[in-house]
Amino acid sequence: MQDWEVVIGLEIHAQLTTHTKIFSGSPIAYGAEPNSQANLLDLGMPGQLPVLNKAVIPKAIRFGLAVGANIGRRSVFDRKNYFYPDLPKGYQTSQFTYPIVEDGGSLDIEVDGQTRRIGITRAHLEEDAGKSIHDAFPGMTGVDLNRAGTPLLEIVSEPDMRSAQEAVAYARKMHELVQFLDICDGNMQEGSFRVDSNVSIHKPGTPFGTRAELKNINSFRFIEQAIEFEIERQIEIVESGGEVIQETRLYDPERNETRSMREKEEANDYRYFPCPDLLPVVIEQTDIDQEARAMPELPDAKRVRYQENWGLSQEDAQMLTASRAMADYFETLVDLTGEAKKAANWVMGDLSKALNQDGLTIDRSPVSAKMLAGLMARVDDGTISGKMAKQVFAAMWAGEGHADDVIEAKGLKQITDEGAIGEMVDRVLAEHPDQVAAYQAGQEKMLGFFVGQVMKASKGQANPAQVNAVLKARLAQA
Amino acid sequence: MAIEKQDVAAIARLSALSVGEEEAGQVAGKLNHILDVLETMQSVETDQVEPMSHPLDQVQRLREDRVTETDQRERYQRIAPAAEKGLYLVPQVIEQV
């Protein structure tokens, strides 16, 4: 890309997991009937006063501590004024001059084996707006205010990213972090985690170029594509003597292009001022200490521990920490079985496959970690073979009960009795004299045939390792 | 700093208010009068004063994260100028994207 340097900063809106709105007692369940969760305050009716939801503060503190930022000990809500029908008050309550999470934070990302530290400028609390429906009513706009007042943490990065890959790596890492911190459910389809990208280009050593903002893209793949397209577009403009204008652009994944969202509303002037309806939020050191004590182990630390203590590969450690629920499940399984590698194989193998097939997340798995541990124990003590275990797992998945119930019901107990196996082996060898002769003439691959016959005779219940051993011994004697 | 007619026009656009040409002149005059008052206040020595966002020396009271509101949509929409399918209807405000 010649000698243009790309400069990207991200603004991420993470919806905080609460039961009610940030300033009112309305519920915030997703997908409810339009306006059924909008009370007088959410509608912007005069005379209503906001009261801050207690639950958002510890979540913001936890985030600030996790990224190593300074916590705003006295943060102030401001009014960000703009006109739009899904914002009936005429202003968004946000934080401007004194945010709850101040400077000093950062997040390390890895791209192509290189670690880079991305600065976090700040993070502040604010309310979400409602939704406008533009195309359903001729000449009119429909407004649904259920989402109005949903608590958001807006996380603003420094313009530290230099490629679309870095931007996506940062967004993914942040997505993972907020879920591990249990402050946001990370559901991008439902808009719980939204990424706005500020993209500009310049020649190194010269001031930053004018940026364009790419808004509300709801998948990591599209974020990467949108930024790639935007970089190309800006380079083309500048190289043909034009000028990039500051504007908001929408990404159209079907055409893989960005388009101007609206004619630039002249220099957005939000006329911020402190909200007189809300007093400053004061955070005591004890509040911060409490969150520090409750801080969960973060994904980077988990990955190191999985590799160093449990001998897992980097790829496995990465996969097993894909979500906090996944890591919790895996760790419970290891605690119960003491077998990290086998546990990893089950979680990434049959369990993940079944989850994918049924479109479930691991916290909804019909087979709990405890149930899976029960199954692994039966393989471990030789009751069933690895192959039978897969069958038992499928039955457990289908709701047929615990491992022991399924083994009992299906009569799946593995035959490990040397005498019984010996009898079956003798019978098979007696029935196939030609194949025995062939084996003894040097066709050693016949062994597989005998194993198959014995397994068949045992209805798959003989221990295959023992069958192998007994067969080899008998054939050597014969 | 004096407010000109075009400043009034810009503010009106941001607020989605319709202010006529003639009216813009009057509004500019009124706003300039307010600015004059502020100008006077600017001359007060404030170097030693800590900026204050709120006049009360108190901190925010907090609310438990518990649902206290019930669905009152029927009642609220009865007084809305236009509502359909549960949505509040307003004049279309933006150009089609």
Q: What does the H/E/C string look like for chain A?
A: CCCCEEEEEEEEEEECCCCECCCCCCECCCCCCCCCCCCCCCCCCCCCCCCEECCHHHHHHHHHHHCCCCECCEECCEEEECCCCCCCCCEEEECCCCCCECCCEEEEEEECCEEEEEEEEEEEEEECCCEEEEEEECCEEEEECCCCCCEEEEEEECCCECCHHHHHHHHHHHHHHHHHCCCCCCCCCCCCEEEEEEEEEECCCCCCCCCEEEEEECCHHHHHHHHHHHHHHHHHHHHCCCCCCCEEEEEECCCCEEEECCCCCCCCCCCCEECCCCCCEECCHHHHHHHHHHCCCCHHHHHHHHHHHHCCCHHHHHHHCCCHHHHHHHHHHHHHHCCHHHHHHHHHHHHHHHHHHHCCCHHHCCCCHHHHHHHHHHHHCCCCCHHHHHHHHHHHHCCCCCHHHHHHHHCCCCECCHHHHHHHHHHHHHHCHHHHHHHHCCCCCHHHHHHHHHHHHCCCCECHHHHHHHHHHHHHHC
- How many angstroms separate the CA atoms of A451 and A446, rounded? 9
- Closest residue of B to A23, CA-based? B63
pLDDT for residue A374: 94
Q: Where does B1-43 sit in CATH, by number?
A: 1.10.20
pLDDT for residue B94: 62
**Neighboring chain B residues of A19 at a CB cutoff of 8 Å:** 65-67
Which residue of A26, A37, A261 is in closest CB contact with B97? A261
Residue B48 burial (C-beta neighbours within 10 Å; 0-12, 13-18, 19+): exposed
- How many angstroms separate the CA atoms of A58 and A56, rounded? 6
Region label for B4, one of left (φ > 0), alpha (ψ between -120 and 50) or beta (otherwise) = beta
Could you read off the pLDDT of A276-308 as tens digits, one per residue? Answer: 999 999 999 999 999 999 999 999 999 999 999
Could you read off the pLDDT of A20-60 as tens digits, one per residue? Answer: 999 999 999 998 999 999 999 999 999 999 999 999 999 99
8 Å CB contact of A262 and B95? yes
8 Å CB contact of A140 and B89? yes
A141 touches chain B (CB under 8 A): yes
E strand or H helix that includes residue A396:
helix A386-397
* CB contact at 8 A, A8 and A227: yes
Q: How far is A226 from chain B (nearest CA, A)?
A: 18
Question: Dihedrals φ, ψ of A415, to 5°?
Answer: -90, 115
A94 touches chain B (CB under 8 A): no
Q: What is the mean pLDDT of residues A145-149?
A: 97
Question: Dihedrals φ, ψ of A265, to 5°?
Answer: -60, 120
pLDDT for residue B86: 95
Which residue of A26, A97, A279 is in closest CB contact with B60? A279
Q: What is the mean pLDDT of residues A450-472?
A: 85
8 Å CB contact of B73 and A137? no
> Lowest-confidence range among A97-106, A344-353, A386-395, B11-20?
B11-20
Could you read off the pLDDT of A403-444 as tens digits, one per residue? Answer: 999 888 887 777 778 888 888 888 998 899 888 888 888 888
| Cα-to-chain-centroid distance, residue A425 | 51
Could you read off the pLDDT of A251-281 as tens digits, one per residue? Answer: 888 888 888 876 545 556 788 999 999 999 9
User: Given a cut of 60, is residue A203 above it in pLDDT?
Assistant: yes
pLDDT for residue A252: 86
8 Å CB contact of A52 and B16? no
Q: What is the mean pLDDT of residues A204-220?
A: 90
Domain ranges, ordered by start, for chain B? 1-43
- More reliable by pLDDT, A94 or A426: A94
Q: Where are the alpha helices (DSSP H) in A93-219?
A: 164-180
The percentage of residues in chain A with a pLDDT greater than 90, rounded to a whole number, is: 70
The complex scores an ipTM of 0.79
Which residue of A37, A57, A76 is in closest CB contact with B53? A76
User: Which of the listed CATH numbers 1.10.10.410, 3.90.950.20, 2.60.40.680, 3.60.10.10 matches domain A418-477?
Assistant: 1.10.10.410
- How many angstroms separate the CA atoms of A52 and A24, rounded? 7
Give the amino acid at A424.
M
| Maximum Cα–Cα distance across chain A | 99
CB-based contacts of A405, cutoff 8 Å, min separation 6: none
Q: Closest Cα to residue A10, out of A128, A168, A135, A147?
A: A168
E strand or H helix that includes residue B91:
strand B87-91
Confidence of residue A165 (pLDDT cuts 50, 70, 90): very high
User: Given a cut of 80, is residue B97 above it in pLDDT?
Assistant: no
Domain ranges, ordered by start, for chain A? 5-286, 297-410, 418-477
